[in-house]
Amino acid sequence: MRKITFLLIGFLSVFTAQSYGAVIAPQTPPVPDDTSTSPSKVHGLTANTRSDGTELPDINGTLSLQDCIDLALANSPVMVSAQLAAQNARVNLNLAKSQFLPTVSAGFDSRYNMGTPVHDYGTSNTYATANLTLSGLTDLVRNVKMKQSAVEQADLNVQSVQNDIVRNVRKGYYTLLSAQRAVAIRTQSRDVYKDQYERTAEYYRLGLRPKVDVTTAEVNLNNESLSLIRATNAVKTASASLANILGVTTPNLLTVQMTEDFETWDISLEEAVKNAYNNRPDVQSAHLEVRIGQMQLSQARSGVFPTMTLSAGYTKSGESLYLDTEAAHVGVGIEIPIFNAFKTYNSVKQAKIALENTHNSTRSLLNNVYLEVQKAYIQLNEAAESIPLAKLNAEKAKENLELAQGRYNEGIGDMISLKDAEVAYTDAELSLLTARYDYASAVADLKQAMGTY
């Protein structure tokens, strides 16, 4: 009997360990290859190392786009929460698997019985037991599969959070670059107005220009100086916003690498939608939710079938640490449901409703994904088509400004025409700047909509 019990416990333990994996410590979810970072231990307000132990970029140094992505992934509280949720899902999976493993325990107790001095005596008991009970084997297996799907969903959520973080970093990075470039344009324009004011004041002193031209030139200079102040404050705001996206706090302006070499993206709408359906973590998670709903429906339907219970145990006990008494048991039980107050019927009905709702949510998600990809694709094409036109306008506006400046210097042009030319040139430069950074932002939106990094 004892040998049979040991064989049964050992066989079931080995079989379930091979089938569903041994119970191990929770593993850290994998991180996509394009960035080797994951939330690291936070020191104070920010993390300063990646998961592989390498140092993160200095927030006070010059940051590239990849540096900003590394900092955001290491410091984002949202990413930390997603990682912890994935670890918790693995713990739940391990708990589900542990139902297939035996439990082993040992104990000792000692008791002293007090009566008359003649009859005082003491007793002690020592025991060691091993037990394994499997009740509803099919439900246990199904529960493990559902927990495995939950782990996959948690990993997909980590990828989805990373996708959102990378997109937000790119948009914040380009917004800051755009604001800094706008300051350069406004500074150049302010210098032009300043030169114009000084030149006009000298013409007035020589009697070549009326006083109204000097006043107009001064007003133009003041207005452009005000625009420069606003542009400078926009840089501060963009820097603060990017720092918030990176999950850091700093009173200083962030210094980012200036670049106008943006990533180009050439793809058809059909291919973009196909990639989104195949790659987006939320779409894959929705399909997993359907699978979980189907398993829950099967579990509800199993309520009408008999339940089998397998059990095996072995115990050794004795007095004074001598384990000289042993007992073993092997049991098989079958429970046949007859009437459970329509619990199974209503559980099946409820599971069907939940599954249909999951299907409906998945269809709605696919429609929203298509719309999101379509809108990002339209914005990308609009930005791509705007850049050549904006560049041509800037070139023509510069030529017109040079002509207007020459006519005014020769005394055949007026201040109004010069002012119009200067405003047109500044607006054209800002429009070109906006078109370029709109394109970079649109690429980030489309990649995020497609579920790529």
Mean pLDDT estimate for the chain: 81
pLDDT of residue 357: 92
Cα of first residue to Cα of last residue in the chain, in angstroms, is 61
Model confidence over 402-431: pLDDT tens digits? 888 888 777 777 777 888 888 888 889 889
User: What's the pLDDT score for residue 320?
Assistant: 61
pLDDT at residue 99, rounded to an integer: 84
pLDDT value, residue 102: 82
Q: What kind and span of H or E run contains 281? A: helix 281-301
Phi, psi of 379 (to 5 degrees): -65, -35
Task: Give the tens place of pLDDT for each residue, 15-32.
Answer: 444 444 433 333 333 433
DSSP codes of every residue in 45-111: TB--B-TTSPBPPPTTSEE-HHHHHHHHHHH-HHHHHHHHHHHHHHHHHHHHHGGGS-EEEEEEEEE
Residue 89 has pLDDT above 90, yes or no: yes
The answer to whether 324 touches 318, Cβ cutoff 8 Å, is yes
Domain ranges of the chain: 30-110+135-309+340-450
CA distance 64 to 61: 10
- Cα 402 vs. chain centroid, distance in angstroms? 50
| pLDDT above 80: residue 52 | no
Chain centroid to CA 281: how far?
Answer: 10
Amino acid at site 43: H
**% of the chain surpassing 90 pLDDT:** 22
d(CA 396, CA 9): 86
**What pLDDT, in 10s, does the model give residues 213-263?**
888 888 989 999 999 999 999 999 999 999 999 988 888 899 888 766 666
> Is residue 205 predicted with pLDDT exceeding 90?
no
Query: How far lies 346's CA from each of 295, 350, 360, 392, in Å?
Result: 16, 6, 21, 70
pLDDT category, 371, cuts 50, 70, 90?
very high
Q: Which CATH class is domain 30-110+135-309+340-450?
A: mainly alpha
What pLDDT digit, counting tens, does each position of 339-354 carry? 777 888 888 899 999 9
